[in-house]
Structure 1
């Protein structure tokens, strides 16, 4: 009823507005969403694998300390050296962090799926 009372140009502008709305999503937008999701999956998988490797290394160190093959002071010395290396690697990681779309919900969804399914 309202369209019948409006001018003929109004219905055309409504249809063109809907067409513009659907055509505003470009191929670049879709590709960027897919890339963010895949990056999230891969980084989630990497994080899960790194966590499992770290737990295995900790278990090995505990066993070696328990049987007396390593002294706790040796492990403490290694941890101090590792802490120094991590501080220098943190600067490099900041550069990579600027590249990642970690504030994208698609990246976060991919990251969580990578952690769970990895």
Structure 2
């Protein structure tokens, strides 16, 4: 059970188990140290493999195909023993075929499961 001090993800009130963002255009970063009571590690990663999402994977809110499934390997300096990250069960998130008619900055949302493996 997550500590009560952990942030909640609205509207479902699920506990936030980590943060994911990019430190460079090609370097994903995962922070699983979400509270003083729950420190699972942090890792910058390299993509080592990918495969297209299955043809029957859920489409995005605007009908966009699911982004690929990934295997990421933690770079030197990862904490918590984190070694590998897998992105699976993706829904939506693929870039549009054309940017025509879109604003200069836009987002394409997706959902995915992330599996973390540690030594």
TM-score range, shorter chain: under 0.3
The structure with more helix, counted as a fraction of residues: 1
Find the structure with the greater CA-based Rg: 1
The structure with more strand, counted as a fraction of residues: 2
Q: Tell me the TM-score normalised to structure 2 length.
A: 0.18
Q: Tell me the TM-score normalised to structure 1 length.
A: 0.18
Q: Which has the higher contact order (CA 8 A, sep 6+)?
A: 1
